[in-house]
Amino acid sequence: MMCGKTVIVTGANSGIGKATAAGIVELQGRVILACRDPGRAEEAAREIRQQTGADGSQVLVKQLDLASIKSIRTFCENIIKEEPRLDVLINNAGVYQCPYSRTEDGFEMQFGVNHLGHFLLTHLLLDLLKSSAPSRIVVVSSKLYKRGEINFEDLNSEQFYDKALAYSRSKLANLLFTCELARRLEGSGVTANALTPGIVRTNLGRHVHVPVLAKPLFNLLSWGLFKSPEEGAQTSVYLASSPDVDGVQGKCFADCRPQVLLDKATSQDLASKLWDMSEVMVGITT
């Protein structure tokens, strides 16, 4: 189904991203693991090759640090130089509820990586995606977007920081970005859709504190109630590969089905304003 197609997956060294990459490879796609840590990414690539029987040309590793504008630009320059086509971009990488910190360029880490980094990455790869049309952009959000609010007076959380609310805001930004991107891509042959994977057993929650005495119970419950990475990746693989979503634009999916979002996640005014401010923040001049 994906034979001859090239797919970039950000944050593909573990969790949903790794499972997504493996799912694409199993469909005969060629995957570029775009990861901050090349060592961990190479280990993931070896495991994916062993799991799927793929050769070295089908699973590649490229260094990408979404907390660095310089790294994003270098990654995209290399992709454009080396890759004749790009069929699918999966914006999967994420930082979850970390203590307050800043990216290399001074952005609050969760907003900087989860939204701004992918915003710039997508912008820089858009011409390659358009020349490869029909092509797809897949954005991984979260149902926790419902708790998020876009405070345009404090996008960098300099006045107030709550790690849970900051994560939710970044996930709301993902959905607003998808909404505006889809509007701008109408008629281009490139589609943009988002998804919420549900609660998945990954290392994304490494910054979440669980009391020592509660950890055995938490671990038991997580195995019983949370999705496996493979289950969490199903909708990402579906949106990247399924003919069912050919031409589908600007929707959000969960469990491979379209979802109805809260109004704040589809507001044209919010999406347009966030787009304009994001361009300024990452230094895009149009």
- Residue by residue, pLDDT tens for the chain (286 residues) are 899 999 999 999 999 999 999 999 999 999 999 999 999 999 999 999 999 999 999 999 999 999 999 999 999 999 999 999 999 999 999 999 999 999 999 999 999 999 999 999 999 999 999 999 999 999 999 999 999 999 999 999 999 999 999 999 999 999 999 999 999 999 999 999 999 998 876 554 444 444 655 545 544 454 456 789 999 999 999 999 999 999 999 999 999 999 999 999 999 999 999 999 999 999 998 6
Contact 155, 110 (CB under 8 A): no
pLDDT digits (tens, 9 = 90+) for 154-195: 999 999 999 999 999 999 999 999 999 999 999 999 999 999
What integer pLDDT is reported at residue 153 of this predicted model?
Answer: 97
Give the pLDDT confidence score for residue 201 in this predicted structure. 61
238 classed as catalytic: no
Cα(276)–Cα(123) distance, integer angstroms = 13
CA atoms within 13 A on the CB side of 224: 6
pLDDT for position 205 = 47
Q: Tell me the domains of the chain and their CATH numbers.
A: 6-198+232-282 (3.40.50.720)
CB contact at 8 A, 54 and 25: yes
User: Which pLDDT score, from 0 to 100, does residue 16 have?
Assistant: 97
Query: What is the pLDDT at residue 285?
Result: 85
Residue-level pLDDT at 117: 98
In sequence order, the β-bridge partners of residue 88 are 7, 136
pTM for the whole structure: 0.92
Q: Residue 181: enclosing H or E segment and its boundaries?
A: helix 163-185
Predicted pLDDT of residue 200: 75
Query: The tokens of 84 are what?
Result: 């004749």
**What's the confidence (pLDDT) of residue 87?**
98
Residue 217: the pLDDT is: 52
Torsion of CA 39, 21, 26, 255, to 10 degrees: 150
* Catalytic entry in 96, 145, 167, 238: 167
Q: How far apart are CA 231 and CA 259, in angstroms?
A: 18
Number of residues written out for the chain: 286
What the block records as the tokens of 27 is 């469909």
Tokens coding 193: 């859709």
